[in-house]
Chain A
Amino acid sequence: MKTKDNFSAEHLLYLKKRKRDDLTVAAARISLAVGFLALWELLFQVGAIDGFIFSSPSRIAKSLVNLAKTGELFMHAGITLFETLSGFVIATAAGTLAALALWWNEKLRKILDPYIVVLNSLPKIALGPVIIIWFGSGLKSIVVMTVLITVIVTTITMLGGFTATDGNKIFLLRSLGAGKMQILTKLVIPSALPTFISMLKINVGLSWIGSIMGEYLVSRAGIGYLIVYGGQVFKLDLVYAATLVLCLLATGMYALVSLTEKLTVGKK
């Protein structure tokens, strides 16, 4: 392999082309966003669209600044983030443990299989009234809703990962005299790590659905509450501003999971 100092002219050309391609993509991305916002603002300024219904980037920005000044923004974002993260952590842990139990006990797996199918098919939002009656109209209900939406999918995904363990490798360990616990810790868990990571990514999306849906149902605070409230009093600036914050938070959480993936799976 040639090093940096003695690349051929052809290779330098190739590198230059690659760099140019990367720049083109980045430029196109940025101009897409800027162009969209500029067009939106322009249409609003000349009166082509109704600011009351469609709002505009400048009105959204103003609304965000106001929310930030009063500190409301951070309060609402904090509450929703707390609900989402608690739901995410509880559901991930509970679902993974349930999947482990089902992997360990094949009979239990057979018995519970139809119940898992039914629970998975059920739209969890239908349980809303029951959850409110059981857990009250507050944060607790929202976390429960988040957990319910996330936990079944977690269980099914992780059980799939555990049972997909290479049968020949299990055979090899058994031939060495390994017990079930050793098979679990030395083989099943490490080989399910990629499944675990992709499950985390799915769970980021699901837990945001859970917390926002929960806030739609019961809350007095949070991003979902801001969106519902804004819609009810026709403050659409607020609706758009809250949605934007939601986008940023959810993307940030996804990015954190991707980083975890790089640190674990990438390293092997």
Chain B
Amino acid sequence: MNTLLTLDKVGLVYHSPSGETQAIKDMSFEVNEGEFTAVIGPSGCGKSTLLSVIAGLIRPSEGSVKIREREGGGSGELGYMLQRDELFPWRTIRKNVVLPLEIKRRKTRVNVEYALSLLEKYGLKEFTDHYPDQLSGGMRQRVALIRTLAAKPELLLLDEPFSALDYQTRLSVCEDVFRIIRKENKTALLVTHDVSEAVSVADRVLLLSPRPAKIRKEYLLDFGRDTTPLKRRNDPRFRDWFELMWRDLNYENKR
């Protein structure tokens, strides 16, 4: 398997008038193509900051971030999915989905058709000309994923994308997002504080320490690539993984 993302001894120091904070320290890991990696950690440990560094929105103070062999991270090849769908309420679903193409000045007929075909493929075609406030929270988050995929990113960065949804919707959107990511054969990096969510979607889970964030542990999950989140939740191994990570996470918290 090819390595898609490489972090090499990444460190980040925040400066504010009241002082400086080491947010990330000496972090190194790799993400392979097609892999679904989840990052869990205590709240406030810098998980979201890590994604911003990978996306090239914050420059690391030390070390390097490489996507394929390109230095420095970059926005061109990345798709970001946030807690809320952040759909623009004055744009129709169609116009929301092609937004990344407009920003990247790649709004060709072929690319627009690809984006619209994703809407059709994942059952949102009839809402193409609707406005976001006419859709349910779950549908909106699916549209947000399709918007993220529209520019064909190599790497998806998911920043707690289900946390704003209610429990029922969260399970079903999580299921859909997992299927879509597998079907489109995308590489994804998910950040979450929800251990069960990490166990239900990832091939590999990285556990971060409290600030300054460092990788404490790595878990290689053995559910198999095509076992969907709901199937995993019914699998006896699910509880074992959950308990193991839960214990490690709380151990980290107490230290």
Contact = CB atoms under 8 A, between A and B. Distances in A.
B88 interface: yes
A187 B88 CA distance: 8
B90 A190 contact: yes
A175 B75 CA distance: 6
A190 B91 CA distance: 10
A186 B99 contact: yes
Of listed A172, A174, A187, residue having the most chain B CB within 10 A: A172
Given A174-B57, A175-B75, A186 B89 contact: no
B76 A172 contact: no
A168 interface: yes
A176 B82 contact: no
B78 interface: yes
A177 B75 CA distance: 5
A268 B91 CA distance: 8
Given A171-B82, A176-B103, 19 more contacts: A168-B82, A168-B84, A168-B86, A169-B86, A172-B80, A175-B55, A175-B75, A175-B78, A176-B100, A176-B104, A177-B75, A178-B103, A182-B103, A186-B99, A186-B102, A186-B103, A190-B88, A191-B90, A268-B131
A177 B90 contact: no
B86 to A, nearest CB: 5
B80 A175 contact: yes
Contacts of B99: 176, 186
Contacts of B89: 268
B27 interface: no
Contacts of B174: none
A268 B76 CA distance: 30
Q: Give the secondary structure class of B's interface.
A: loop
Interface of A: 166, 168-169, 171-178, 182, 186-187, 190-191, 193, 268
28 contacts: A166-B86, A168-B82, A168-B83, A168-B86, A169-B86, A172-B82, A174-B57, A174-B75, A175-B55, A175-B75, A175-B78, A175-B157, A176-B75, A176-B100, A176-B103, A176-B104, A176-B151, A177-B74, A177-B75, A177-B76, A177-B104, A182-B103, A186-B88, A186-B103, A190-B90, A193-B90, A268-B90, A268-B131
A179 B93 CA distance: 23
Nearest to A267: B90
Interface in B129-161: 131, 151, 157
Contacts of A169: 86, 88
A169 B88 CA distance: 8
Q: Give the secondary structure class of A's interface.
A: helix
Interface of B: 55, 57, 74-76, 78, 80, 82-84, 86, 88-90, 99-100, 102-104, 131, 151, 157
Contacts of B104: 176-177
A177 B86 contact: no
Given A168-B82, A182-B103, A186-B99, A175 B88 contact: no
Given A168-B84, A268-B131, A173 B103 contact: yes
Contacts of B80: 171-172, 175-176
Contacts of A187: 88
Nearest to B51: A175
B85 to A, nearest CB: 10
Of listed B88, B100, B157, residue having the most chain A CB within 10 A: B88
Contacts of B74: 177
Nearest to B100: A176
Contacts of A190: 88, 90
A17 to B, nearest CB: 30
Nearest to B157: A175
Contacts of A191: 88, 90
Question: What are the 10 closest A-B residue pairs judged by CB atoms, nearest first?
Answer: A177-B75, A175-B80, A176-B103, A178-B103, A268-B90, A172-B86, A176-B100, A169-B86, A190-B90, A175-B55
A177 B131 contact: no
Nearest to B132: A268
A177 B88 contact: no
A172 B157 CA distance: 11
A268 B90 CA distance: 5
Contacts of A175: 55, 57, 75, 78, 80, 157
A161 B95 CA distance: 23
Contacts of B78: 175
Contacts of A186: 88, 99, 102-103
A248 to B, nearest CB: 34
Of listed A173, A175, A178, residue having the most chain B CB within 10 A: A175
A173 B55 CA distance: 12
Nearest to A166: B86
Contacts of B151: 176
A169 B102 CA distance: 15
A24 to B, nearest CB: 34
